[in-house]
Amino acid sequence: MSVPVALLHQYNIPVPRYTSYPTVPVWPADIDYDRWIVTAGEQLTSHAASKGISLYIHLPFCESLCTYCGCNKKITTNHNVEVPYIDAVLKEWELYVQQLPQKPVIKELHLGGGTPTFFSPENLERLLSGIFELGTLAPTPEMSFEGHPGNTTAEHLLTFYNLGFRRVSFGVQDLDPQVQHVINRIQPFEQLEEVTRLARNIGYQSVNFDLIYGLPLQTIDSITNTINRSLELHPDRIAFYSYAHVPWTSKAQRLFSEADLPTAAVKLLLYQQGKRIFAEHGYQDIGMDHFAIPGDALYKAQQTGMLHRNFMGYTTQHTAVLVGLGVSAISDIGIAYAQNEKTIHDYYQRLENNELPVAKGIFLTEEDRLFKQYILDISCRGKTTFVNKYREQLEQYSYPELDQLEADDLIYRNSNGIKVTDTGKNFIRNICRAFDLHLLRNGESGDRPMFSKAV
């Protein structure tokens, strides 16, 4: 359905993506290390064997710099960095496992970056074999990796497949040559076509494409062509991300002129055009930025109320503990978050001292945990039910926001809770914001914004 342009403008404000709550910018600059060790050990012991855990491994290396990218990455063509980094990640994993009375059950594993396929297939096999040696794979684990169409080989795909991976996500971003040039991401359609064909022939059950709208030099015609050509390859899932222009945290974004970026009005049109084309081709709106065909596991999880969201995005595995390994990776143990050191030097140094490399984090209050659940309910199930605890905070901070959302027909509301309307599905981040007490109490602090805009 078409969304009124006036609403898109009204709600196009800086809003978190809510892969966590509280969101990372409000975390303290450091963390009580001893408390983290004890708390993480208790949570892992409670969940690792009986219920299983999720693992995220951050592989930060890239051979070239994509100027749109806001991820933590290290640009190098020196592949001698692979082995020392793998050694460090395996040591970090060992430090976590040492706290457990038995091997953890791994229900979910995702490799992100950076560019995971920067690493050779042999070194990736060594990394993953080391991970599996200290853990036990669940009967049907959800395992995936991010692949660059320009350097993902048949050997990469076979190696991952033989280790149990059944899902791959390719970073397409845009297929227009002019856009690719300005963002320094040159990858002809033929490369994407070939690597997608290889994945399907090998037996991958789900292929995801990442696309971005709002990139420099994008137009309605160019993004229409990018989407239509991508859909010729029939991806099972699509992540349609808004380009987050955050040059205050990503210096690479200063390498092109802001004058090349689509205006706010054009960016809104790009968003609407993309959603329209996906709907015409049968893709279902899963939630924030994500679409899937009806047969895909992500769609089925949404339909059965089993969809979950964490730092890896939307997932079909509802685990209470996510361990992040690697530089800048974030761990979520349900009642606390911790982020690793952001530089490789500091990451290595902490591990050489036999310390977990956590640098900052937050321990959640009871109030945080309740409002985190409200946000998870909205982002994963499109509805939530109010409870009596902290009703005063709900009434003081959330109700005024919900009043406006209801007036704009983005939610249905009664005394027991809310449900997102069809129009409101386009504004999930804004609806989640109504339960972000940290943001509503304090606003954005400082001289520069913390978050990208909603659209």
Mean pLDDT of 309-318: 83
Q: Are 77 and 63 in contact (CB under 8 A)?
A: yes
Lowest mean pLDDT among 61-65, 223-227, 451-455: 451-455
Helix (H, G, I), strand (E, B) or coil at 353: coil
Q: In whole angstroms, what is the distance from residue 248 CA to residue 48 CA?
A: 38
Q: Is the pLDDT of residue 204 over 90?
A: yes
pLDDT of residue 188: 93
CB 226 within 8 A of CB 174: yes
Report the run of H or E that residue 314 belongs to, with start and end. strand 313-315
What is the rounded average pLDDT for all residues in the chain?
91
In the block, tokens 């795909």 appear at 157
Radius of gyration of the chain (CA): 21
Span 25-50, average pLDDT: 89
Residue found by looking up tokens 């802001």 in the block: 258
Provide the pairing of β-strand 322-325 with 53-59: parallel
Confidence (pLDDT) at 66: 87
Residue 445 has pLDDT above 70, yes or no: no
Q: What pLDDT sits at residue 447?
A: 46
- 255 — pLDDT class (breaks 50, 70, 90): low
pLDDT confidence of residue 449: 54
Domain borders along the chain are: 5-323, 365-455
Long-range CB contact pairs, 327-330, < 8 A, 24+: 327/58, 327/60, 327/72, 327/357, 328/58, 328/60, 328/72, 329/56, 329/57, 329/58, 330/20, 330/24, 330/56
Binding annotation: 56, 62, 66, 68-70, 113-115, 146, 173, 185, 210, 244, 330
What is the per-residue pLDDT across 363-408, written as a single tens digit (0 to 9) for each?
999 999 999 999 999 999 999 999 999 999 999 999 999 999 999 9
**Which amino acids are annotated as binding site for S-adenosyl-L-methionine, given as ranges?**
56, 68-70, 113-115, 146, 173, 185, 210, 244, 330
Residue whose C-alpha is closest to residue 15's, from 454, 387, 455: 454
**Tens of pLDDT along 433-444?**
999 999 999 875
**Annotated binding residues for [4Fe-4S] cluster:** 62, 66, 69
Where residue 450 falls among pLDDT bands split at 50, 70, 90? Answer: low
- What are the CA-CA distances from residue 317 to residues 22, 107, 138, 150, 435 (Å)? 21, 7, 11, 30, 24
CB 316 within 8 A of CB 307: yes
pLDDT-based confidence at 426, cuts 50/70/90?
confident
Q: Which fold has domain 5-323?
A: pyruvate-formate lyase- activating enzyme (3.80.30)
> 365-455, which class in CATH?
mainly alpha
Question: Is residue 251 over pLDDT 80?
Answer: no
Q: Over the stretch 125-174, which tens digit does the pLDDT of each residue have? A: 999 999 999 999 999 899 999 999 999 999 999 999 999 999 999 999 99
